[in-house]
Chain A
Amino acid sequence: MQALTNRVKQVDRKKLSFIESLYLPAIIKGMFITFSHIFKRKPTVRYPEKTRTFSPVFRGLHVLNRDEQGRENCTACGLCAVACPAEAITMEGAERKPGEEGLYREEKYAARYEINMLRCIFCGLCEEACPKDAIYLSETFAPANFQRKGFIYGKEDLLIPNPVTEPEAYAKAKGGRVAVK
């Protein structure tokens, strides 16, 4: 049979010599490799105490953005849903009533907004499509859940804390991040 690669090595079946049959040199050689790793840099981190820094292009759990006055940015334009290759996003739009100007930035807003995290592939196309800076993929993982119904994220799960009414929660969620212009 023709080999697929040229790295094929024929197994050597000749008799072992006396020294080889003691196995000790091979064991010492092996243990040397093992113990030498003690002095090398550890590729793992002690997870719960220490966390890895995310890459700047990491795409994690989605958030729905608010502006500085705490109004929702999303206008239910549907571009994220049409861009979504997994068809994970659904929404329903509504008209802003007089008196709701402090809640929604524009005259139309998403009354319902849902991301099915079971379908989502975290490609970030929704973020790219959004004309209103409303959806972002944050630097967190989608938490695990015992039931599948816990993965249907509604607006209450996605919206960031209101910077006006809940400044502490907003500051905590913001962390050490600074706005990039």
Chain B
Amino acid sequence: MADEVKAPPANFKVTIDNITIEVAPGTTILTAAREIGGDVTPPAMCFYSKLQGSGGKCRTCLVEVAAGSTADPRPMPKLVASCRTTVMDGMIVKNITSDKVKDARAGVVEFLLLNHPLDCPICDQAGECHLQDLGYEHGKEGTRYEFPRRTFEKEDIGPYIQLHMTRCILCYRCTYVADQLTDKRVHGILDRGEHAEISTYISKAIENDFSGNMIDVCPVGALTDKTFRFKNRVWFTKPVDAHRNCENPKCCGKTTLWLRGEEVFRVTARKDQWGEVQSFDGKPGWICNTCRFDKKETKDWTIEGPTLINRHSVIAQGHYVGVIKPKETLQEVMGGREPLLLMDIHDVSEVNKLNIDLSKIQGPAHSNDFNK
């Protein structure tokens, strides 16, 4: 009956960690797992669903395929990168239920951290760093590496973006942004193997209008916002959703503002639950450099409301929800008069001085900014 070739079913049934889901053919295991959501989803450092061709580099999303398909139920001999492996009908995938995967992932984390410096106290990405989360959730406590770590000369890649090559894990996401979002790629990977590094050709500044999106896609603190550099920690700023009518037709204009009081310390694109840029009407919400770096005042924006932050994120600290302010009883107790000795903290405190507007300073603040 050779002519009875069955057409592939419209939907493939795939079982990930004993949860069965139907997905369209051609879906990768990672995307299918993301449809299920929760702990089942493998972590991804290099894969970015909004960037074509990304993935397959960091190996954090390794999963075990216990059965290839209904037609060929043999298991795959090695762990596979789920971001690059498409599902087959009847495939059985093991992620967190497999000890092999857990062990391999701990190894991958150790490899990623070989050359990554432990400068989280300085790094502006700390608090929203995917490598921090990955190390915390999947890594081991110690490292067995005893050799000098890879270091680079500090390179200036323009007035808006700060490159810390030592922190780079070579996920290539930023080069895909440069390739796919901007019309001319001026930065890429130089050298190979251990010496590979992200650089602009002949220190050419990245001037493209969408280059700032590299900051958002960078999973670590290798590319950070220079206008926000050292201004504050991420978890002390308050994220709010905002939008503006951007003149740039390619810019979506929907952003997250990171406020401190009335000051806009940082503008980023809106992120979804996977840490990727949110899509609006099926289009990824990339924002232009004008929105990101130049509109640092609340009056430039229409604020929609506070951004929903996962309660387990450090950014959610100090976001008190449903607070009922106690009644001010001082007046009542004092018989209507103000107390004689009432200290306003802002009269004494040197922090958050009104004459020092950190958001107005172009780059990081320096000693002369404070000793005015």
Contacts and interface: CB of A to CB of B under 8 A. Distances in A.
Interface stretch (A9-17, A56-64, A78-86): A78-86
B328 interface: no
B121 A94 contact: no
Contacts of B310: none
Nearest to A78: B233
A93 B370 contact: no
B272 interface: no
A148 B341 contact: yes
B230 A93 contact: yes
A116 B317 CA distance: 19
Contact of A77 (B126, B341, B351, B358): B126
Contacts of A132: 121
A112 B233 CA distance: 14
Nearest to B364: A95
Interface string B89-104: 0000000000000000
B364 A94 contact: yes
B332 interface: no
Contacts of A166: none
Interface in A92-126: 92-95, 97, 100, 106-108, 111-112, 114, 116
A112 B365 contact: no
A8 B367 CA distance: 69
B229 interface: yes
Interface string B317-357: 11000000000000000000000010101011111100000
Contact of B231 (A75, A81, A93, A152): A93
A159 interface: no
A76 interface: yes
A95 B121 contact: no
Given A75-B122, A78-B235, A94 B230 contact: yes
B232 interface: yes
Interface in B270-326: 314, 317-318
Contacts of B232: 78, 92-93
Interface residues of B, number: 33
B142 to A, nearest CB: 16
Given A78-B235, A90-B352, A149 B343 contact: yes
A94 B341 contact: no
B349 A108 contact: no
B369 interface: yes
B23 to A, nearest CB: 40
B349 A152 contact: yes
Given A91-B351, A114-B350, A152-B349, A131 B343 contact: no
A147 to B, nearest CB: 8
A25 interface: no
A: interface residue count bin: 20 to 34
Contacts of A95: 229-230, 363-366
A124 B369 CA distance: 32
Interface string B228-244: 01111101100000000
Interface string B136-152: 00000000000000000
B233 to A, nearest CB: 4
A94 B365 contact: yes
B120 interface: yes
Contact of A152 (B345, B364, B365): B345
A76 B230 contact: yes
Nearest to A87: B318
A30 interface: no
A148 B339 CA distance: 14
Contacts of B365: 92-95, 111
A160 to B, nearest CB: 19
A55 B243 CA distance: 56
A154 interface: yes
Interface of A: 75-79, 81-82, 87, 90-95, 97, 100, 106-108, 111-112, 114, 116, 131-132, 147-149, 152, 154
30 contacts: A75-B122, A76-B230, A77-B126, A78-B233, A78-B236, A82-B233, A82-B314, A90-B349, A92-B370, A93-B233, A93-B365, A94-B367, A94-B369, A95-B363, A95-B364, A97-B368, A106-B119, A108-B364, A111-B369, A111-B370, A112-B350, A114-B349, A114-B351, A116-B345, A131-B120, A132-B121, A149-B347, A152-B348, A152-B349, A154-B350
Identify the 3 closest CB pairs spanning chains A and B, nearest first.
A77-B121, A78-B233, A95-B364
Given A82-B318, A91-B351, A93-B231, 13 more contacts: A75-B121, A75-B122, A77-B126, A78-B233, A78-B235, A82-B236, A93-B232, A95-B230, A107-B122, A108-B121, A108-B364, A112-B350, A112-B370
